């Protein structure tokens, strides 16, 4: 595969644990995502034959270009896992060097690899040899923390070992989501390596896709939280800004339920699993806020407190309390009669206890 041709101008759905579930990837594909990435799979679990991990390699027939993302720190294991991914239909395989979660980094996985560029080189080298001509890509952050922003060293090590593209999430591991993504740093990587660079971080609206590309010169962009909050960002990438009103959003959620039932099944277990995903997705969907009346745009780092929903349905869709999410799930899974009347607004105490957004 010619990665430069594949990536040129692409708007990629990011790898997201939980968020990148197969029915949600299909929804994003239907809305225009041309490249989708699966949820991170652990190479060691794959080699041990762990069934749930194999499910993460599954590609939907309507995914036009599908990548599997692997996490691991052992070159031979990663090479073997890459072979498994390709045997199950991956168009390319990505190495996770960015996951900040403590449970991963203390085992030397994800972002912990940023501190070991030689290890990254060995992993990429082994994977390239194992699956060539299928491309291997690497997803990195800017470094472990602000004192160790070694992204140029890491990116060059990966490319010198045969990586066909580098995704740069413009933050360090320590920054998590607290500061804005550094798009200039992504531009430095573009200048430093000979392969296409995919820019990632803080894209929620189509003008931000253009701004990111202009500022960094990256070949493609990748979107994570934006895709969870407003999956039609992929349509906006070609058609320009769209405000999906509340009934249109409800229709998208209904479509997700249909795709979810096709994947999880319609028996009790399938419905339970789908409901679990629906409730989880509600935590992102409720954050949608349209462009402000004065033409400015909301940002993603904080929840917009001044948004005035335009009708009753929008009030409900924008609520982030558990009662509203359960009600919405009932509405979607069982129909209006079973959902009953909309739940009362939560007390101030309940509203304050809402959970933080998940993080990858």
Ligand X SMILES: Cc1cc2nc3c(=O)[nH]c(=O)nc-3n(C[C@H](O)[C@H](O)[C@H](O)COP(=O)(O)O)c2cc1C
What distances in angstroms separate CA 125 from CA 4, 48, 50, 95, one per listed residue? 20, 23, 25, 12
203 binds ligand X (CB under 6 A): yes
Restricted to residues 158-187, the positions that interact with ligand X (CB under 6 A) are: 169
Whichever of 69 and 327 has its CB closer to ligand X, that residue is 69
Length of the chain: 360
Question: Which of residues 25, 59, 139, 235 is near ligand X by CB under 6 A?
Answer: 139
How far is residue 72's CA from residue 94's CA, in Å, rounded to a whole number?
Answer: 11
Give the interface segment with ligand X, choosing from 25-33, 217-225, 230-238, 256-264 (CB under 6 A).
Answer: 217-225
Number of H helices, E strands in the chain: 18, 9
Q: Which residues contact 197 (CB under 8 A, 6 or more apart)?
A: 155, 165, 166, 167, 168, 186, 189, 190, 216, 217, 218, 219
81 binds ligand X (CB under 6 A): no
Whichever of 163 and 331 has its CB closer to ligand X, that residue is 163
Q: In 3-state terms, what secondary structure has residue 59?
A: coil
**Cα–chain center distance at 303:** 19
Question: Which of residues 3, 13, 15, 56 is near ligand X by CB under 6 A?
Answer: 15
Question: Which of residues 200, 216, 219, 318 is near ligand X by CB under 6 A?
Answer: 200
199 binds ligand X (CB under 6 A): no
Whichever of 249 and 287 has its CB closer to ligand X, that residue is 287
Q: How many residues bind ligand X (CB under 6 A)?
A: 25
What distances in angstroms separate CA 312 from CA 180, 244, 245, 319, 326, one per listed residue? 33, 15, 12, 11, 17
283 binds ligand X (CB under 6 A): no
Q: For the window 83-122, what string marks contact with ligand X as x by the rule CB under 6 A? A: -------------x-xx-----------------------
Q: Which residues contact 298 (CB under 8 A, 6 or more apart)?
A: 204, 289, 291, 292, 304, 307
The distance of closest approach from Cβ of residue 296 to ligand X in the complex, given in angstroms and rounded to an integer, is 19
The distance of closest approach from Cβ of residue 29 to ligand X in the complex, given in angstroms and rounded to an integer, is 17
39 binds ligand X (CB under 6 A): yes
Given the residues 28, 65, 99, 286, select the one marked as catalytic: 99
CA angle 107, 165, 216 (to 5 degrees): 105
Q: Give me the residue whose beta carbon is nearest to ligand X.
A: 360
Q: What are phi and psi of 35, to 5 degrees?
A: -130, 125
Active site residue 286: no
Whichever of 47 and 180 has its CB closer to ligand X, that residue is 180
The distance of closest approach from Cβ of residue 38 to ligand X in the complex, given in angstroms and rounded to an integer, is 9
Question: Which of residues 69, 137, 172, 219 is near ligand X by CB under 6 A?
Answer: 69
Of the candidates 138, 140, 186, 135, which has an alpha carbon nearest to the alpha carbon of residue 4? 135
Give the interface segment with ligand X, choosing from 12-20, 50-58, 238-246, 337-345 (CB under 6 A).
Answer: 12-20
How far is residue 222's CA from residue 209's CA, in Å, rounded to a whole number?
Answer: 9
Whichever of 113 and 331 has its CB closer to ligand X, that residue is 113
Q: Which residues bind ligand X (CB under 6 A)?
A: 14-19, 39-40, 69, 96, 98-99, 139, 169, 200-203, 223-226, 358-360
Catalytic site positions: 99
């Amino acid at each position: 595969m010619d990665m430069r041709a594949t990536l040129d101008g692409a708007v990629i759905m990011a790898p997201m644990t939980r968020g990148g579930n197969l029915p949600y990837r299909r929804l994003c594909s239907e809305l225009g995502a041309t490249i989708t990435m699966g949820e991170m799979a652990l190479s060691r679990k794959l080699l041990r034959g762990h069934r749930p991990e194999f499910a993460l390699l599954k590609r939907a027939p309507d995914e036009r270009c599908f990548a599997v993302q692997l996490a691991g720190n052992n070159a031979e294991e990663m090479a073997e896992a890459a072979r498994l991914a390709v045997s199950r239909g991956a168009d390319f395989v990505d190495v996770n060097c960015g996951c900040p979660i403590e449970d991963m980094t203390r085992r030397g996985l994800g972002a912990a690899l940023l501190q070991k560029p030689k290890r990254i080189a060995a992993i990429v080298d082994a994977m390239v040899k194992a699956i060539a001509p299928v491309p291997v890509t690497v997803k990195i952050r800017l470094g472990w923390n602000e004192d160790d922003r070694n992204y140029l060293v890491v990116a060059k090590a990966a490319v010198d070992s045969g990586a066909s593209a580098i995704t740069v999430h413009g933050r360090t591991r320590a920054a998590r989501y607290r500061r804005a993504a550094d798009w200039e740093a992504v531009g430095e990587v573009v200048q430093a390596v000979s392969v296409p660079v995919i820019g990632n971080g803080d894209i929620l609206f189509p003008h931000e896709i253009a701004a990111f590309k202009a500022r960094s010169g990256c070949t493609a962009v990748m979107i994570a939280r934006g895709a969870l909050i407003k999956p039609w960002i992929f349509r906006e990438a070609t058609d320009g800004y769209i405000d999906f009103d509340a009934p249109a959003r409800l229709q998208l959620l209904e479509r997700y339920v249909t795709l979810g039932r096709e994947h999880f099944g319609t028996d009790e277990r399938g419905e339970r699993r789908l409901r679990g995903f629906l409730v989880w997705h509600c935590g992102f969907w409720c954050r949608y806020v349209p462009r402000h009346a004065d033409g400015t745009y909301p940002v993603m780092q904080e929840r917009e407190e001044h948004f005035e929903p335009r009708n009753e349905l929008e009030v409900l869709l924008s609520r982030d309390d558990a009662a509203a999410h359960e009600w919405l799930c009932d509405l979607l899974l069982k129909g209006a009669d079973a959902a009953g009347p909309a739940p009362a607004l939560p007390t101030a105490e309940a509203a304050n206890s809402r959970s933080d957004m998940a993080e990858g």
